[in-house]
């Protein structure tokens, strides 16, 4: 959830709480026998606001998860169908995030990572996945991510020089 989504949810919750408080106050004025204080009405409005905020947040997260899972299934089926040998070895592609551009990551077998070569990291596969994404309503090129191995002490010494 982005900051703008968070604040939109907070604003929706506040508006809902105000509407509940006003509606409760009007209703309570009509039926005096149900009279409870404005503090109790405010507390009920606060609870309703929190429930609405949680509902909006959960709904957005669930819909984002469903969209990621659906796209992951399509990319997984495509990769498994067109590159079965690489998939059997443990290589693959993961959908990491959906925003204006899709963020995809290369999956390596047995904890491998960049700079080890990935067989699917090539312009042909990139074009195929871009076409698959565009055909499924995700415009533009994806952003690719690589897991990286931490540098060893020897590599750091070679890179930075001796202490």
| pLDDT tens digits for range 101-144 | 899 988 888 877 766 778 888 899 999 999 999 998 888 899 88
Burial bucket for residue 55 (CB in 10 Å: 0-12, 13-18, 19+): middle
**Quick one: pLDDT at residue 88?**
92
The pTM assigned to this predicted structure is: 0.64
Please answer whether residues 108 and 91 qualify as being in contact, where contact means their C-beta atoms are separated by less than 8 angstroms. Answer: yes
**Quick one: pLDDT at residue 33?**
54
Q: Reduced to 3 states, what is the DSSP secondary structure of residue 17?
A: helix
CA pair distance 82, 88, nearest whole angstrom: 12
The candidate with the shortest Cα–Cα distance to 120, out of 102, 108, 132, 134, is 108
**Quick one: pLDDT at residue 157?**
79
Please answer whether residues 20 and 44 qualify as being in contact, where contact means their C-beta atoms are separated by less than 8 angstroms. Answer: yes
**Quick one: pLDDT at residue 7?**
75
> Within the chain, which residues score under 50 in pLDDT?
none
**Quick one: pLDDT at residue 43?**
76
User: How is the chain split into domains, by residue range?
Assistant: 3-66, 83-145
**Quick one: pLDDT at residue 79?**
92
């Amino acid at each position: 959830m982005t900051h703008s989504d968070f604040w939109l949810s907070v604003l929706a919750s506040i508006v809902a709480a105000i509407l509940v408080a006003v509606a409760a106050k009007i209703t309570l004025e009509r039926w005096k026998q149900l009279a409870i204080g404005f503090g109790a009405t405010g507390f009920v409005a606060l609870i309703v606001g929190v429930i609405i905020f949680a509902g909006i947040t959960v709904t957005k997260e669930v819909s984002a998860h469903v969209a990621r899972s659906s796209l992951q299934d399509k990319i997984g089926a495509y990769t498994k169908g067109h590159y079965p040998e690489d998939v059997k070895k443990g290589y693959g592609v993961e959908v990491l995030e959906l925003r204006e551009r899709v963020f995809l990551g290369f999956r390596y077998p047995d904890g491998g990572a960049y700079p080890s070569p990935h067989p699917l990291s090539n312009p042909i596969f990139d074009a195929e996945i871009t076409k698959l994404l565009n055909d499924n309503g995700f415009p533009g090129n994806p952003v690719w991510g690589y897991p990286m191995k931490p540098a060893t002490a020897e590599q750091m010494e070679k890179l930075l020089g001796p202490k």
